[in-house]
Amino acid sequence: MNSTKKRQSGDRAIFGIELAYLLALCLTAVACGGASAKGDQPQGPPAMSVKVQVARSVPVTDTTEYVATLKSRDTAVIMPQVEGYLTDIYVHSGDRVSAGTPLMQVDPAKQQATLHSTEDMLAAQRANLQWAQQQYDRISKLYQAGVSSKQEYDQAKAALDSAQAQLRALEAQVREQRVQLHYYKVISPRSGIVGDIPVRVGDRVTTSTALTTVDKAGTLEAYIYVPVEKAVQLKMNAPVEIVDGSGNVVADSRISFISPQVDNTTQTVLVKAAIANNQDKLRNSQFIRARVVWGRQNKPVVPVLAVLRIGAQYFAFIAEDENGKTVAHQKPLQVGEIVGNDYVVLNGIKPGDKIIVSGTQFLVDGAPIVPQG
């Protein structure tokens, strides 16, 4: 009896385990089926609320900046007219001088000695002329009295003429040598500012030695080298702006010269523009930034905060309607200069496009959005 009860109790336990196993299988199947049903209908991410702004078109000045060199339009290169050793330098670089101001002194000792020698010869010739004049006067009286011959008279006249000619020649030499002596003192030919002085006292200079320069204040010219690709847009009298390191305009000018030739080495075209430098803010041989103004035209602008940069490429998101909903599309941009708080767009966006200006760091191409504003 007891064994029969034990067997019946074991059978019930086994049945209970099997039933629990079947229930577990059913629950697993139901769960898998439910998950599969849900997978057939995926739910996308919720639409993101963003602010949009319509791209507007504004008049923009089309300019290009180049590095230019300033050169004086009135620079006098000072060279000596004689050879010799420098004994004095009377000025320093940057000094303002007037016309006739002594700049330097070349040793005049040799020229002074030559002048003194010629002056002595001149004094001797004057004495010789005086004797020839006396001889002529005496022979002339004797000839008129019939005592002296015609030959003696002619010889006295020839000697007098020769003495007078020699005197005139020596006087001319003295004048020339006195003028030559003035050249040993180098003077400024004009008023202006003394430039660099590359020579020193004791240097031997020749007529081809550059001693210094004298620049007339207020007259400079910008030498601008424009790439040949842009040269076709160059026009005489086109505006040119000279700007400082902060972009502020320090001088206005216009193109006054366009070279007809292309530099074979740099493939650039030389352009010149006269600069009024009345306040002496600019200097000769100074490197400056010259902004050539090509013209004005309407261009779309977008806020700076709406522009993303990845490497060297700029992007912006615009809102577009697609299949009945609004999505964000990423557009590559070609941007120009910044005007106020906006980028000037050269290519990629047109006026009227809806620019997304908020939450751009969380957007991806094709993401659904809810435009605001």
Question: Do residues 30 and 352 lie in contact, with contact meaning Cβ atoms separated by under 8 Å?
Answer: no
User: Same structural domain for residues 82 and 208?
Assistant: yes
Measured CA angle at 172 (ends 167, 175), to 5 deg: 125
Last residue of a domain, one of 161, 183, 205: 183
Q: What is the bridge-based pairing of β-strands 313-322 and 354-356?
A: antiparallel
CB atoms within 10 A of CB 205: 19
As for how many domains the chain has, the answer is: 4
Question: Taking a C-beta distance cutoff of 8 angstroms, is the pair 317, 328 a contact?
Answer: yes
Domain encompassing residue 54 = 48-59+298-372
Question: CATH number for the domain including 122?
Answer: 1.10.287
Asked whether residue 22 is assigned to any structural domain, the reply reads: no
Which residues sit opposite 240 in a β-bridge? Answer: 253, 292
Domain containing residue 85: CATH number: 2.40.50.100
Q: Indicate whether 84 belongs to any domain.
A: yes
User: Could you say which of 167, 183, 199 is where a domain stops?
Assistant: 183
pLDDT in tens, the chain (373 residues): 444 444 445 455 444 544 444 454 444 444 444 444 444 555 556 788 889 988 888 887 778 889 999 887 778 899 999 999 999 999 999 899 999 999 999 999 999 999 999 999 999 999 999 999 999 999 999 888 888 889 999 999 999 999 999 999 999 999 999 999 999 999 999 888 898 899 999 999 999 999 999 987 667 889 999 999 988 889 999 999 988 877 788 888 899 999 999 999 999 999 999 887 766 677 777 888 999 998 888 888 888 888 888 888 999 999 888 888 889 889 999 888 787 788 888 888 888 899 998 888 888 888 888 888 6
